[in-house]
């Protein structure tokens, strides 16, 4: 073999270490791959956690839709919901049914043994064979507890007028007088609670003052509406 051929042979002989990093280059490459592996591990675990949470939410929705609102006692205390009037949470719930028709509300509650509703006492009276009154902190709704304010889910109803209207409109004046004279005798028939003695005395005194009458304390001037004509505007 000539020297030229020998040199050519040596020139084309591949380096057995060609293409593989050595030393610090190898260490750097291992670190890069390790960091890449850690990133992929974190992404995988994050995706797994999200998938588990999504599955739990889906299962909760399925159970909730199938069996109604899950009453978790330690998360949503019934007294806290009612007394703090968490309106937004109640109205946003998928199982909340809202209607201006109180008879429809009563019917929906009667059909579901786990339902709870809020509406006028008169509609309870009409459907009391299918409904149950609920006490709040041991206080049941009745004329006494509503009058003294110890039952919290109650409200007064008002009739508004002023002295100028009463003095210029005889029909409105006599109407209010008749109302204040007889309301407690009739109100039970429509399912409302009668006005307490103190509130009634105050209301009658307001009417007396508006009409500039000189009556003794506790005295009342009942007017016979027969023969009184005119219009009463209710707004």
Q: Spell out the per-residue pLDDT of the chain, length 235, in tens.
A: 444 454 444 555 555 555 566 667 777 777 778 788 888 888 888 888 888 888 888 877 766 655 544 444 445 555 565 556 566 777 777 778 888 888 888 888 888 888 888 888 888 888 888 999 889 889 999 889 988 889 988 888 888 888 898 888 889 899 999 999 999 998 888 888 898 888 899 999 999 999 988 888 888 988 888 878 777 666 6
pLDDT at residue 150, rounded to an integer: 92
Angle at 141 between CA 135 and CA 142, to 5 degrees: 145
Query: Would you state the pLDDT for residue 74?
Result: 43
Q: In the chain, helix, strand, coil percent, each to 5?
A: 55, 0, 45
Same domain for 133 and 172? no
Tokens of 61: 């929705």
Per-residue tokens: 23: 């030393």
Look at residue 17 in the predicted model and tell me its pLDDT.
54
Boundaries of domain holding 182: 159-235
Residues contacting 178, CB < 8 A, separation 6+: 222, 223, 225
Residues 47 and 27 grouped into a single domain: yes
- Mark whether 227 and 171 lie in a shared domain: yes
Same domain (yes/no): 63, 90: no
Q: Who contacts 177 (Cβ-Cβ below 8 Å, separation ≥6)?
A: 207, 221, 222, 223, 225
- Cβ–Cβ < 8 Å for 117, 106: yes
Do 126 and 163 lie in one domain? The reply is no
Same domain as 112, residue 45: no
d(CA 152, CA 77) in angstroms, rounded, equals 17
Helix H or strand E segment including 64: helix 23-67
pLDDT at 161: 87
What pLDDT sits at residue 117?
85
Does the residue 9 lie in any domain?
no
**Residue 109 sits in the same domain as residue 168:** no
DSSP one-letter code for 211: T
**Beta-carbon-side half-sphere exposure of residue 93 (alpha carbons within 13 Å):** 16
Among 147, 169, 189, the domain-final residue is: 147
Record the tokens describing residue 162, joined without a space.
């002023």
Q: Is residue 52 part of a domain?
A: yes
Classify residue 72: in a domain, yes or no. Answer: no
Backbone φ and ψ for 169, nearest 5 degrees, come out as: -125, 100
Residues 182, 224, single domain; the answer is yes
Residues 164 and 233 in one domain: yes
Number of folded domains that form the chain: 3
pLDDT of residue 208: 92
4 found inside a domain: no
Would you say 146 and 193 are in contact if contact means Cβ atoms under 8 Å apart?
yes
The answer as to whether 126 is a domain residue is yes
| Rounded CA separation 141/155 (Å) | 12
Q: What is the pLDDT of residue 113?
A: 85
- Domain assignment present for 33: yes
Structure-token pair, residue 169: 């409109």
Asked if the structure places residue 170 within a domain, the reply is yes
């Amino acid at each position: 073999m000539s020297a030229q051929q020998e040199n050519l042979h040596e020139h084309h002989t591949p380096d057995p270490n060609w293409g593989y990093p050595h030393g610090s280059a190898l260490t750097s490459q291992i670190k890069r791959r390790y960091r890449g592996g850690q990133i992929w591990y974190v992404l995988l675990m994050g995706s797994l956690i999200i998938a588990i949470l999504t599955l739990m939410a889906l299962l909760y929705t399925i159970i909730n839709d199938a069996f109604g609102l899950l009453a978790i006692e330690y998360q949503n205390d019934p007294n806290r919901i009612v007394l703090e009037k968490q309106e937004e949470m109640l109205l946003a719930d998928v199982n909340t049914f809202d209607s201006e028709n109180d008879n429809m509300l009563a019917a929906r509650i009667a059909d579901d043994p786990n339902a709870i509703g809020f509406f006028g006492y008169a509609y309870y009276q009409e459907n009391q064979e299918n409904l149950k009154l609920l006490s709040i902190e041991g206080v049941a709704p009745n004329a006494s507890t509503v009058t003294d304010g110890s039952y919290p889910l109650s409200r007064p109803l008002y009739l508004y007028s002023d002295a100028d209207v009463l003095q210029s409109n005889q029909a409105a004046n006599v109407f209010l007088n008749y109302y204040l004279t007889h309301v407690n005798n009739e109100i039970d028939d429509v399912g409302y609670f009668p006005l307490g003695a103190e509130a009634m005395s105050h209301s009658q005194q307001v009417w007396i003052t508006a009409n500039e009458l000189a009556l003794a304390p506790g005295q009342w001037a009942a007017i016979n509406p027969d023969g009184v004509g005119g219009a009463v505007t209710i707004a």
